[in-house]
């Protein structure tokens, strides 16, 4: 006699599905474990006196200071200014990077004129260009946006260009066979082929934008998270400095998460593990 168990096939199907890359099961909120352990260590060292409050304010003091800055509107104002600068710099740098990557990746003349020059300037530290940028563009808003644009240009350019030059030549042969013109080739083959590299570069670029911004906002600024931190350094307010660092960290995490969501939606045609 044979017996059948209801739901057994479904259970087998569930068990046959791979839990994730490398066969590991995903643990919800596992990425938060490291920051939580770091926060616990910070609190322990502050409570036991290992950390001097003048050197690094305890988590409770940082949280209170952050709440006060949020309540009186200072944090919101400076955050909005920083977001505008980062968004403008990323938009200008990203647009220029994609355009030049297409020209260099799809044309031999563009490769000769653009790629070597881009690789030359990529070797220069962006922050080392600050004095020259001040001489050229002054100390107003323009220099801050330009520095962010320069910092975000190279990750997007390099990864987009690499994706374009790595396209399978059979796609170009297929385009010639079916009679695609330049515009159709760009829209149907080049741009989809460059998209994975573009999003990889964009993830790096959003992180770089905040790193460059924290320095550029200390150049004769009167607003922004970097300005808030610089003022706090002048008066020895370590709690305000840490608030600024936490804000920058959260902005970097949020922007990276947003780019990953956009990448997932834009590249739904690509099959991945998990």
244-248 contact pairs (CB < 8 A, 24+): 244/214, 246/62, 246/66, 247/75, 247/79, 248/210, 248/214
**Tens digit of pLDDT per residue, the chain (274 long)?**
444 444 444 444 444 444 544 455 655 566 667 778 888 888 888 888 888 877 788 888 888 888 988 888 888 898 998 899 999 999 999 999 999 998 888 778 878 888 888 888 888 887 778 788 888 887 778 888 888 999 999 999 999 988 888 776 666 666 666 666 667 766 677 777 778 888 989 999 998 888 888 888 877 778 888 888 888 888 888 888 888 888 888 888 888 888 888 888 877 766 544 4
Hey, what domains does the chain have and what are their CATH numbers?
Answer: 83-266 (1.10.3720.10)
pLDDT at 15: 44
How confident is the model over 29-70, as pLDDT tens digits?
666 677 788 888 888 888 888 888 777 888 888 888 889 888
The model scores a pTM over 0.95: no
Helix runs in 188-273, H state only:
191-216, 225-234, 238-266
Instruction: Please tell me the predicted confidence (pLDDT) of residue 169.
Output: 64
List Cβ neighbours of 106 (8 Å cut-off, separation of 6 or more): 164, 186, 190
SS3 of 250, please?
A: helix
């Amino acid at each position: 006699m044979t017996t059948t168990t209801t739901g057994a096939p479904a259970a087998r199907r569930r068990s046959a599905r791979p839990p994730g890359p490398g066969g590991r099961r995903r643990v919800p909120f596992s990425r938060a474990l490291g920051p939580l352990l770091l926060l616990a260590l910070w609190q322990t060292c502050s409570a036991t006196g290992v950390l001097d409050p003048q050197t690094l304010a305890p988590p409770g003091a940082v949280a209170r200071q952050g709440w006060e800055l949020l309540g009186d509107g200072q944090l919101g104002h400076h955050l909005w200014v920083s977001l505008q600068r980062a968004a403008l710099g990323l938009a200008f740098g990203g647009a220029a990077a994609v355009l030049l990557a297409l020209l260099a990746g799809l044309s031999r003349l563009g490769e000769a004129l653009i790629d070597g020059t881009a690789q030359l300037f990529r070797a220069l530290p962006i922050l080392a260009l600050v004095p020259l940028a001040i001489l050229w563009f002054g100390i107003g808003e323009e220099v801050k946006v330009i520095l962010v644009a320069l910092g975000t240009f190279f990750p997007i350019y390099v990864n987009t260009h690499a994706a374009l030059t790595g396209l399978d030549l059979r796609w170009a042969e297929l385009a010639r066979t079916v009679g695609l013109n330049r515009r159709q080739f760009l829209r149907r083959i080049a741009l989809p082929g460059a998209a994975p590299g573009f999003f990889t570069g964009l993830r790096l670029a959003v992180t770089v934008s905040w790193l460059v911004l924290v320095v550029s906002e200390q150049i004769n600024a009167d607003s922004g998270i970097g300005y808030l931190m610089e003022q706090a350094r002048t008066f020895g307010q370590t709690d305000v400095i840490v608030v600024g660092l936490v804000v920058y960290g959260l902005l970097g995490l949020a922007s990276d998460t947003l780019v990953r969501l956009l990448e997932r939606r834009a590249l739904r045609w690509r099959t991945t593990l998990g």
